[in-house]
Chain A
Amino acid sequence: MSEYPGDTEGATAALVSAVSTSSASPLDAARLALSRDLRLAFRKRGQLVQPLVFFAIVTTLFPLAITPELSRLRDVAPGVLWVAALLSSLLALEFLFRDDAYDGTLEQYALSGQSLTWLLFAKTAAHWLLTGLPLALMAPLAGMSLGVPAAAVPGIVASVAVGSVALSLIGAVGAALTLGIKRSGALLSLLTLPLAMPVLIFGARATELAIKGGGYAAPLQLLGALAVLGVTLAPLAAAAAVRINLE
């Protein structure tokens, strides 16, 4: 040890090396990946509220542009709500993996010995909690300004909540595929939008039926099926895309 004059760190060193290690369970790992993203989002609130502000602006501009007449607004309300929700969730996608790719977090996830698929699923869940869920809660408020009756609120919340799960997952694949590309926004929308069409169609249909007071269970179930399909396939595809990008 004569090479290190004045070294008094030996005791701590022994402590660190002597500790027996137990690897983190997949559940712990996912919980940490999710809570890390939530904490980061609250450190960067600007990024967090941006899609929500966009949603609020788009939906409130329509009455000004079309007509203040509530009966006519009510007819376009499902389309307006869903197009705005789709675009604002697309807006948030760019941030999903980008920072993690730059600072090496994805690389460390890929080398963690945990399933990358599972960690990316946790990340996507965090993304939904930060964008999909707030959108679902905001949609009825935006709906009010478009003349949507209060009775339609549960239907709107349910359809946007379930639909945005599918959107987050589809978007995760697109975001992972475009990781290596600078200013990937346009390409990301081009990749994601066609896949998001079924969500838009069934989501708008469920909302329309909810507004008209009909049963909206059928389109909602189809949205649920899309979300389940996304849960099972999207993380696998996203993990494969991230691995290719890391190479």
Chain B
Amino acid sequence: MSERSLQGENLHLWRGDRHVLRGVQLSLAGGECLQVTGPNGTGKTSLLRTLCGLMYPEEGRVLWAGQDVRSDLPGFHADLAYIGHEPPLKVDLTPRENLYYWIGVRRRISRPELDDALERVGAEQWRDRPVRTLSAGQKRRVALAGLALMAVPLWLLDEPTTNLDAEGQRLVGKLIEEQLLRGGLVVAAIHHELPVPGATLRRLELAHE
């Protein structure tokens, strides 16, 4: 557990002629949570996508357990979960089917495990309804169930509390707290305060030029 660490070294990212990330430095060890804040358009999403290897920084590198992630991208991806703005769900499938396929591609899961995760996020009433009939908050909850099921050390979350009610936001806090207790790492782009103990929380503030 202890050798888990994520570092961003001098990350520069350009989108067209916009210099989005300008020498971002970050370092995170097991059991720590990094809260990325900043006004809209300052590159929070770009930073997360750069960290998970979807975007290639023009300069700098991302290190996972001391290794450049480019040297073994599939291995790095097997250790991380990234949830973007929109929960990656198929509207024609039910929450159960969605998780079965989405998580099943990554690792073996059993049906009880899946049902437990859905129950945990309060989905037992609507787990067999097509996702198109669910509210945005319910979809977000299904995504949270998926996040917990992936059982990976690194979480990269883009606005994980969007559309969630007060209880749902507490659930996010609780999931993050458990992840940190397991020695996992969390990077979350989030506007308001994360409900996790301050000792493990670090902050990164992005700003406009």
State the Cβ distance, A125 to closest chain B Cβ, in Å: 15
Cross-chain contact A103 with B90 (CB below 8 angstroms): yes
Segment of A25-33, A170-178, A212-220 in the binding face: A25-33
| Contacts A3-B195, A32-B104, A247-B49 supplied; 20 other A-B pairs, CB < 8 Å | A9-B120, A12-B119, A13-B120, A17-B148, A23-B106, A23-B107, A36-B93, A40-B92, A44-B92, A99-B90, A104-B86, A104-B88, A107-B88, A108-B105, A110-B54, A111-B53, A111-B54, A113-B74, A113-B79, A114-B106
- Binary contact readout A1-41 vs B (1 if CB under 8 angstroms, 0 otherwise): 00110010100110111010111100011001101100110
Query: Which A residues lie at the B interface, using CB under 8 A?
Result: 3-4, 7, 9, 12-13, 15-17, 19, 21-24, 28-29, 32-33, 35-36, 39-40, 43-44, 99, 103-105, 107-115, 119, 246-247
- Among A22, A23, A28, A111, the one with the most B-chain Cβ atoms within 10 Å of its Cβ is A111
Q: Name the CB-closest residue of B to A122.
A: B105
B170 at the interface (CB under 8 A from A): yes
When the two chains form the complex, which single residue of B56, B97, B105, B113 contacts A114, counting CB atoms closer than 8 Å? B105
State the Cβ distance, A20 to closest chain B Cβ, in Å: 9
Alpha-carbon gap, A217 to B106, bound state (A): 42
B182 at the interface (CB under 8 A from A): yes
17 contacts between A and B (CB under 8 A): A9-B174, A17-B148, A17-B151, A17-B178, A19-B151, A21-B151, A23-B106, A24-B106, A29-B105, A36-B90, A40-B90, A44-B92, A99-B90, A103-B88, A246-B54, A247-B49, A247-B54
Given contact pairs A24-B106, A112-B106, A114-B105, A104 touches B116 in the complex (Cβ within 8 A)? no
- Binary contact readout B83-109 vs A (1 if CB under 8 angstroms, 0 otherwise): 010111111110001001110111110
B16 at the interface (CB under 8 A from A): no
Cross-chain contact B84 with A104 (CB below 8 angstroms): yes
Alpha-carbon gap, A19 to B148, bound state (A): 11
B117 at the interface (CB under 8 A from A): yes
State the Cβ distance, A71 to closest chain B Cβ, in Å: 48
State the Cβ distance, A49 to closest chain B Cβ, in Å: 16
Measured between beta carbons, the chain A residues less than 8 angstroms from B84 are 104, 107
Cross-chain contact A22 with B116 (CB below 8 angstroms): no
Alpha-carbon gap, A32 to B178, bound state (A): 29
B149 at the interface (CB under 8 A from A): yes
Measured between beta carbons, the chain B residues less than 8 angstroms from A113 are 74-75, 77-79, 106
Cross-chain contact A16 with B101 (CB below 8 angstroms): no
Measured between beta carbons, the chain A residues less than 8 angstroms from B148 are 16-17
Alpha-carbon gap, A211 to B173, bound state (A): 69
Alpha-carbon gap, A44 to B77, bound state (A): 31
Measured between beta carbons, the chain B residues less than 8 angstroms from A12 are 116, 119-120
Cross-chain contact A36 with B101 (CB below 8 angstroms): yes
Measured between beta carbons, the chain A residues less than 8 angstroms from B79 are 113
Cross-chain contact B182 with A17 (CB below 8 angstroms): yes
State the Cβ distance, A33 to closest chain B Cβ, in Å: 6
Measured between beta carbons, the chain B residues less than 8 angstroms from A24 are 104-108
Which residues of B112-160 have CB atoms within 8 Å of chain A's CB atoms?
A: 113, 116-117, 119-120, 148-149, 151
Q: Name the CB-closest residue of A to B86.
A: A104
Measured between beta carbons, the chain A residues less than 8 angstroms from B65 are none
Q: Name the CB-closest residue of A to B91.
A: A103
Measured between beta carbons, the chain A residues less than 8 angstroms from B174 are 4, 7, 9, 13
List the 5 shortest-distance A-B pairs measured between CB atoms, nearest first: A113-B78, A104-B88, A43-B92, A36-B101, A113-B77
Cross-chain contact A16 with B117 (CB below 8 angstroms): yes
State the Cβ distance, B31 to closest chain A Cβ, in Å: 14
- Among A15, A17, A99, A113, the one with the most B-chain Cβ atoms within 10 Å of its Cβ is A113
Q: Name the CB-closest residue of B to A6.
A: B167
